[in-house]
Amino acid sequence: MQITRHMLTIADTGRRVHYRRCGKGPPLLMVHQSPRSSAEYESLMRAWGAHFTCIAPDTPGFGQSDPLPGAPDINSFADALIETMDALGLGPCPAYGFHSGGIILVTALRRASNRFTCLAIGGYAIWTAEEMRIFGEQYLPEFHPSAYGEHLTWLWNRMLEQSWFFPWFDTRDAARLSVAHADLARVQQSVMEMLDAGNAYRAGYGAVLRAPRDIPPPDAATPPVLISAYAGDPLQAHIDRLGAMPADWQALKVASPAEHHAASLEFLQAHGTAIAPPPVAEDAGEGWIEAHGALVHWRGTRGASRLVLHTPGAEMSEPGAEKIAIDVPGHGLSDAADNVLAVIEATKKALGAQEVIWPDVPTGDPALLYPDLTPDRFGGHLTKAWSAARAEAIFAPWYAASAANAIPLAQGALDPAAIATRARARLRAGSAARVWHDILATRKGHSQ
């Protein structure tokens, strides 16, 4: 089942929101945990899409959504969710949230209960004063790029070990988790989402950690709510801390994630709504085009005559007036594709462009230009991408460190933030960079 991706702009503030959509039937709002993005729900959206039109926004500051200004609290995130629902055209609907997503939803229900027909929550945190003290001291360190990529070593191991201990920094036997893993795909996904969020993760994550218990009093009239948590989830113990709840609220301890999902789905179906899903809402200047089964990310003036393509291992830049740019398949926020040229041609037609602006073929040995960035157990692929991104501002080709290959240093090219942008582009592209290089080289050879 296909997931589509969209951008929309909140009219009153100009805040941009990215969301995923999948399935058919009545709408279901899905709010992710921190510091993740709506990408964490892709497999669940495909499963639940048989019953609902699943709509999953990136919360402010995560994924591809703009952060909130200032120092937002949990009320700010709840209000931002209601604003997003308004922009999506969502009426009263069921909603699902895991961990942080559940906290945002419960607060949103308290502030605007008429917007929901029911909530299914995966774990609801009730922290003790001592736990809050510990979290406040260590849980949310500043996260900024460092000149030589040292922050990536910390990030990889922090994300790797968060399933080993809770809190992640409490490396004692007493803090071990039963769900420990070293699943490289899962760790890599979390790492990339943190790279997207940057230091803004502290605002979103901090708001939910500091959130008070927002469960309404027992005599409150609210939509029904199910809170469940599975064995191995650190928040399962918090089921015993929930206290008195309204009559239509339930709390369950279950054995596994599969049981949590099954109970949540059954509850959502029982208490959902039969209203039709809203039409797709999206921004006029950015979005995704489906071409030959791939979603292609574009930005610019739709209908502009010139379509701009970027170099291998990079991502689109702002296209400029009367242009439109895309992330080449497999790069940036575009899906990979078997036939890159066919996808580009189909995208050009769909966007109304007349001409393609092709990049030059990078100079150098492609076997060296694009090192293997497959995630490894030790996170070495991250520092490899950083080293290449740093060196490419100093030499051309980047791997040829000699006086003969020195290039003028562009202003700001060695700023850690600029290196971080280039390194993230390389990590997103991975092996697609070499594929795109070979396509460009072949095309140039044919045109000569």
49: left (phi over 0), alpha (psi -120 to 50) or beta: alpha
Question: What's the CA gap between 196 and 67, in Å, rounded?
Answer: 11
pLDDT at position 447 is 58
Model pTM? Answer: 0.95
Token code pair at residue 222: 């609210």
Taken in order of first residue, the domains within the chain and their CATH numbers are 3-142+199-271 (3.40.50.1820), 286-357 (no CATH), 366-434 (no CATH)
Question: What's the CA gap between 55 and 49, in Å, rounded?
Answer: 10
Question: What's the CA gap between 45 and 20, in Å, rounded?
Answer: 9
- Mention every residue, 6+ apart, whose C-beta is less than 8 A from residue 129: none
pLDDT at position 321 is 85
pLDDT at position 446 is 63
pLDDT at position 388 is 98
User: Position 365: which residue type?
Assistant: D
Question: What's the CA gap between 337 and 366, in Å, rounded?
Answer: 20
Q: Convert the chain into a string of H (helix), E (strand) and C (coil).
A: CCEEEEEEECCCCCCEEEEEEEECCCEEEEECCCCCCHHHHHHHHHHHCCCCEEEEECCCCCCCCCCCCCCCCHHHHHHHHHHHHHHHCCCCEEEEEECHHHHHHHHHHHHCHHHEEEEEEECCCCCCHHHHHHHHHHCCCCCCCCCCCHHHHHHHHHHHHCCCECCCCCCCHHHECCCCCCCHHHHHHHHHHHHHHHHHHHHHHHHHHCCCCCCCCCCCCCCCEEEEEECCCHHHHHHHHCCCCCCCEEEEEECCHHHHHHHHHHHHHHHCCCCCCCCCCCCCCEEEEEECCEEEEEEECCCCCEEECCCCCCCCCCCCCCEEEECCCCCCCCCCCCCHHHHHHHHHHHHCCCEEECCCCCCCCHHHHCCCCCCCCCCHHHHHHHHHHHHCCCECCCCCCCHHHECCCCCCCCCHHHHHHHHHHHHHHCCHHHHHHHHHHHHHHHHC
pLDDT at position 299 is 96
| Tens digit of each residue's pLDDT (9 = 90 or more) over 289-329 | 999 999 999 999 988 999 999 999 999 998 888 899 999 99
- Mention every residue, 6+ apart, whose C-beta is less than 8 A from residue 89: 278, 279, 281
pLDDT at position 320 is 84
Q: Residue 305: how many CB atoms within 10 A of its CB? A: 12
**pLDDT digits (tens), the chain, 448 positions:** 899 999 999 998 999 999 999 999 999 999 999 999 999 999 999 999 999 999 999 999 999 999 999 999 999 999 999 999 999 999 999 999 999 999 999 999 999 999 999 999 999 999 999 888 888 778 999 999 999 999 999 999 999 999 999 999 999 999 999 999 999 999 999 999 999 999 999 999 999 999 999 999 999 999 999 999 999 999 999 999 999 999 999 999 999 999 999 999 999 999 988 888 999 998 989 999 999 999 999 999 988 999 999 999 999 998 888 899 999 999 999 999 999 999 999 999 999 999 999 999 999 999 999 999 999 999 999 999 999 999 999 999 999 999 999 999 999 999 999 999 999 999 999 999 999 999 999 987 765 4
